[in-house]
Amino acid sequence: MEAIIEARKVEKSYGSEGKGSIQVIAPTDLAIYPGEIMAVLGPSGSGKSTLLRMLTGLAKPSGGEIIHHGHEVGGPCENVSIVFQSFALFPWLTVVENVAAPLKARGILAAERTQRSVRILDTVGLDGFENAYPKELSGGMKQRVGFARALVVEPEVLFMDEPFSALDVLTAENLRGELIELWQSHKMPTRAVFIVTHNIEEAVLLADRIVVLGKNPGRIRTDFRVSLARPRDRKDPLFTQLVDYIYRVLTRPDLAPALQPQPAIAKPAGPQYQMLPHARRGAIAGLLEMLADHNGRDDMYRLAAALSFEIDDLLPVVDAAVVLGFAKVEEGDVEITPQGRAFAEADILRRKELFRTAAMEHIALIRQIRRSLEAKVDHSLPDTFFEDLLDEHFSEEEAKAQLDTAIGWGRYAELFDHDSTARRFFLPEEASASKPEPEAASR
Amino acid sequence: MSPRALSRAVIGERTWSRLLDLLVFAAVLAAIEGVLVIARYWFGAITPAAHISRSPRSLPLYAFYSVVRIAVAYLLSLVFALGYGYIAAYNLRLQGFMIALLDVLQSIPVLSFLPGVMLAMVALFPTRQLGLEFGAILLIFTGQVWNMAFSFYASLRSIPRELREAARIYGFGAWQRFVQLELPYGAIGLVWNSMVSVAGGWFFLMACEMFVLGKRDFRLPGLGSYLQTAASAGDTGAIFWGMGTMIGVILLIDQLVWRPAIAWSDKFKFEQVESSSQASSALLHLLRRSTLLTRFETAVVAPLSERINMRLARGGTHTHTAPRDTAWKTVVAMVGGALLAGAILYGLLQAALTLKTLTGPDVGATFKGAAATFLRVFVALVVASAWTIPAGVAIGFNPKLARFAQPFAQVAASVPATALFPVLLLALVQMGGGLGVGSILLMLLGTQWYVLFNVIAGAMAIPSDLREVADVFRFRPWDRWRTVILPGIFPYLVTGLVTASGGAWNASIVAEYFHFKGRTLSTLGLGAQISSATDAGNFGLLLFSTIVMAALVVTVNRSLWRPLYRLAERRFKLEG
């Protein structure tokens, strides 16, 4: 079957060529075929949205090419639509003007524009709201306008960038059902749907084909078809099995998934600098306490539910517990280590101590900051010193985020302090006074 | 409702809208007549020093001439600001240069251009009034345009990414993107900056309608020249007539132009949820109900816009094209750049030649004057802060007081300080005060309002729970100020002070040097230096003191205001 849009060895990196450049997406092959709903899943930072923007021609790949019906894409693709996470409606245009805007861009006359827009608004269940302004509508209705605007041009491929994540649970479920119905009854002339999401159940519910991305840099980890019959039932054992499988793939970044044979997985490039997961230590403590209560081991899926976290939000916390040596991950389960248990059961002062020991032992960046500060006579260094150091390994934004996380952890551990106005790191007073071994309980 | 009552209501509605149409029609007729009057005057023979009558009967015509000058200058500014902002936002190669240029141009005292621009324009149209008029308009334009350009640039840069992407993926052409995305997104900022700009326009209008250049006397019939003439003659009656007319015109413009514009721009607020408070304007409401205007809209405006769109819509033929060859663009850019560089070089050379006429004592006097004016600006800002901070906080914290005080302050602020100068001077001279101290008062008059309004806005923005904390813990007054109020208003205060200091520098040119009843009052200062150099036609000194002033303003901006701004952004921003 001939692909509609095909990515050939596309990659994306930011920053200048060579030393300072950061690869966001490693060379990747991906094709969108007619007749399927394709879902792309991945943790944040895996470049899902960047991939979508390259496939639509909105973003230019740094390498490789995007082929649309046999031609290389140079600008935004003709005949595709995007449904945006934030809806991206023009607040100063009425509903019908919003929907008619793409038709206006194609040079279609006013009368026909209105007629087609009204018809499509009817299809998505918004008749009667033609002359309302977006701000008068609820979130679900706004996204309906977003759908209508995307469908009015009868796109060949409908792209959706986390279309339901800004909506409440019930509204999202309702819209998903309607999308499936439109697709199955062929009420929309669209030949393929490409949906980016971080919600695993959503992907399993909607998609004929699921692609799971990994991060650092973004790459395809697995790509398989879903053979469940429609309508799909969340309680079907096959459904939950598939959800579980995807959880396991997502939570074991080091494991090569092996459910279906899979064309070569791009290798991560170069040796990696240790990356701090962006988790606050309060969340880490919460996770460890929860684990200790659950007999020291629990399924990631159940933990997320118990903490009412999206898996996307839980992952960095688990990562943080793992790098600190407080927990380890096995087969989609999280298990607490003896150090982790000691931490969960300790009082406030003792926790600080344990955290300090763990951070100095396992976290390269925190160790580096502490050592550098100790080496300086005035025990103080500017942010820029460490930013320059991190810039070689991370994007500018990520370098800042790394430093912020390190500041949060280091402050808690009383290893160093930071002045955000002067943008300098310094040692806490008692530590700089009594230099060698900073004993915490001495207060 | 009974059928009869209903039909009466319909008839009432209909006669009402007929009446509206009649009014609109009359307004159109009046506008045509106005254009004719202006055309006859502009293309008439040149009279550089018109006789200015002090009779109140000539005031309507003078007011009309002044308003036309401001309006034309404003329209020019709007077009220029849109173009400049657009290019600066999208041409990445020119961006840095254009924004830096904006910063410098904003700091150059406009009034120093007065002689150069006037002479050039008169040379361009030696026989028609047009030259003189255009010179005045150009000056007002340079006083209005920069903040508008910057506002539009900043709006364009802050358009949310997904809205841009929607416009791109749905293939919006340049025109559609401008009308449906860029202009609406920038509209609110443009309207507010337009108000500020036009208020500033009045300031310059007063100064450039009447001045002396060497041996040549320039006088344009208008409100500014009327007031100056009346003040020189000490004609108190005429001064009051003039002031009254000016305040009336400003109030009228506020009601007829700005109120409707604000209410109209409300629709472009970028918000996803409807807010409770909405601006309203009775006039806008009425205009929307006029059948004549609606018909004009559907019969002329809509088809025209449709036609433009059809011409520019891409009609779906652009895909699959690799990026177009841009070689010719590079050539054009290089040729343009070379021409520009040549022009700049020539200008520099000419400037150097002009500066050669400078004498040593002149340079010394300029620096002494700069120090004196610097001190004056500083004192003016301190005095302004001293009364506006407590007053502004009181108004901002007290809604009842705000309802009463704000409209009053707005009127007071929109009366151009230059118009009040003659009156104040009269008082100063009678009291026997010198201009050295008096000029500080004059600077204050023009600039304190910026501080006041910003402090009010800042005080209103302090969340009530922070104030409640202070109440609950019984903060003493000083602690309350130190921990809640001052940090809360700090970012607003900085904004107000930046604007005020710019205004004060500009005001020094008219405040430190004054023709009055046939003699010249002046005091030591950079502004006086610029004014007297203009009077004497000493271009070398004029250029030099202008450069010194611009350099001072830029330096103060860079070394004082910008760091304070950053501090405000970082430390004192109240976030939700």
DSSP secondary structure letters along A141-205? HHHHHHHHHHHTT--SEEEEESTTTTS-HHHHHHHHHHHHHHHHTT-S--SEEEEEES-HHHHHH
Q: Is the dihedral of CA B456, B457, B463, B464 positive or negative?
A: positive
Characterize the bridge pairing of strands A380-382 and B513-516: unpaired
Single-letter amino acid, residue A62: S
Residue A132 backbone zone (phi > 0: left; psi -120 to 50: alpha; other: beta): beta
Apex B75 CA angle, B71 and B77, nearest 5: 115
- Token pair listed for B302: 């809509």
Q: Please give the pLDDT value at position B453.
A: 80
> Which residues of A, range 26-65, sit inside 8 Å of B by Cβ?
53, 56, 58
More confident residue, B441 or B312: B441
Rounded to whole angstroms, the Cα distance separating A91 from B502 reads 36
Q: CA–CA distance from B34 to each of B39, B41, B206, B248 (Å)?
A: 8, 11, 22, 19
Q: For A151, which residue in chain B has the nearest alpha carbon? A: B170
Q: CA–CA distance from A149 to each of A165, A403, B165, B167, B170 (Å)?
A: 19, 42, 14, 12, 9
Dihedral through CA A86, CA A92, CA A96, CA A97, nearest 10?
Answer: -110
Q: CA–CA distance from B244 to each of A202, B239, B247, B405, B445 (Å)?
A: 70, 8, 5, 20, 18
Rounded to whole angstroms, the Cα distance separating B183 from B185 reads 5
The 8-class DSSP code of residue A377 comes to T
Listed in sequence order, the residues at least 6 apart from A396 whose beta carbon sits closer than 8 Å to its beta carbon are: A15
Q: For B569, which residue in chain A has the nearest alpha carbon? A: A421
Of the pLDDT bands very low, low, confident and very high (cuts 50, 70, 90), residue B1 is very low
Characterize the bridge pairing of strands B216-219 and B513-516: unpaired
Q: Which residues pair with A196 in a beta bridge?
A: A40, A161
Going by C-alpha positions, the residue among B418, B363, B412 that lies closest to residue B391 is B412
Most distant CA atoms of chain A, gap in Å: 82
Listed in sequence order, the residues at least 6 apart from B538 whose beta carbon sits closer than 8 Å to its beta carbon are: B357
Rounded to whole angstroms, the Cα distance separating A42 from A257 reads 14
Q: Do A84 and B162 touch (CB under 8 A)?
A: yes
The 8-class DSSP code of residue B45 comes to B
Q: Please give the pLDDT value at position A254.
A: 63
Whether A110 has its CB under 8 Å from any CB of chain B: the answer is: yes
* pTM for this predicted structure: 0.73
Q: Please give the pLDDT value at position A100.
A: 93
Kindly give the parts of chain A with pLDDT less than 70. Answer: 15-20, 253-273, 331, 430-443
Q: For A152, which residue in chain B has the nearest alpha carbon? A: B170
Contacts of A78 in chain B (CB under 8 A): 171, 316, 318-320
Average model confidence (pLDDT) for chain B? 80
Which long-range CB contacts under 8 A does A372-379 form with residues at least 24 apart? Answer: A373/A416, A373/A425, A373/A426, A373/A427, A374/A427, A374/A435, A378/A426, A379/A426, A379/A427, A379/A432
Q: Is the dihedral of CA B310, B312, B313, B315 positive or negative?
A: positive
Rounded to whole angstroms, the Cα distance separating A201 from A205 reads 6
- Give how far B286 is from chain A: nearest CA, Å: 21
Single-letter amino acid, residue A251: T
Listed in sequence order, the residues at least 6 apart from B328 whose beta carbon sits closer than 8 Å to its beta carbon are: none
The 8-class DSSP code of residue B361 comes to H
Q: In a 3-state reduction of DSSP, which class is residue A47?
A: coil
Whether B566 has its CB under 8 Å from any CB of chain A: the answer is: no
Of the pLDDT bands very low, low, confident and very high (cuts 50, 70, 90), residue B317 is very low
Q: How many residues does chain B have?
A: 576
Q: Is the dihedral of CA B407, B408, B413, B417 positive or negative?
A: positive
Q: Which residues pair with A212 in a beta bridge?
A: A41, A222
Q: Which residue has the tokens 């792309």?
A: A40
b/e per residue, B120-154, with b = 16+ CB within 10 A?
A: ebbeebeebbbbbbbbbbbbbbbbbbbbbbbbbbe
- Indicate if the pLDDT at residue B560 is higher than 60: yes
Q: Do B271 and A68 touch (CB under 8 A)?
A: no
More confident residue, A255 or B458: B458
Q: For A106, which residue in chain B has the nearest alpha carbon? A: B315
Pick the residue of A5, A53, A90 with the most B CBs within 10 A to test the interface with B by mutation.
A90
Q: Which residue has the tokens 């990414």?
A: B161
- Token pair listed for B404: 């009463």
Q: Please give the pLDDT value at position B182.
A: 92
Rounded to whole angstroms, the Cα distance separating A3 from B326 reads 32
Whether B92 has its CB under 8 Å from any CB of chain A: the answer is: no
User: Could you check whether the bond before residue B323 is cis, i.e. omega within 30 degrees of 0?
Assistant: no
User: Could you check whether the bond before residue B390 is cis, i.e. omega within 30 degrees of 0?
Assistant: no
- Indicate if the pLDDT at residue B518 is higher than 70: no
Pick the residue of B159, B170, B573 with the most A CBs within 10 A to test the interface with A by mutation.
B170
Provide, rounded to the nearest whole percent, the portion of chain B with pLDDT above 90: 10
Backbone φ and ψ of B344, nearest 5°: -65, -40
Of the pLDDT bands very low, low, confident and very high (cuts 50, 70, 90), residue B255 is confident
Q: How many CB atoms lie within 10 A of CB A308?
A: 8
- Give how far B277 is from chain A: nearest CA, Å: 14
Q: Which residues pair with B45 in a beta bridge?
A: B128
> Is the ipTM beyond the 0.90 threshold?
no
Q: Indicate the residue of B165, B271, B322 with minimum beta-carbon distance to A72.
A: B322
Instruction: Give the helix/strand (H/E) hosting B76.
Output: helix B59-90
Q: Cβ(A126)–Cβ(A144) under 8 Å?
A: yes
Whether B168 has its CB under 8 Å from any CB of chain A: the answer is: yes
Contacts of B302 in chain A (CB under 8 A): 110
Q: Indicate the residue of A73, A104, A135 with minimum beta-carbon distance to B320.
A: A73
More confident residue, B192 or A105: A105
Of the pLDDT bands very low, low, confident and very high (cuts 50, 70, 90), residue B4 is low
Side by side, the strands of the sheet bearing A209-214 are A80-83, A157-161, A192-197, A37-41, A209-214, A219-225
Going by C-alpha positions, the residue among B393, B385, B382, B377 that lies closest to residue B449 is B385
More confident residue, B507 or B61: B61
More confident residue, B500 or A396: B500
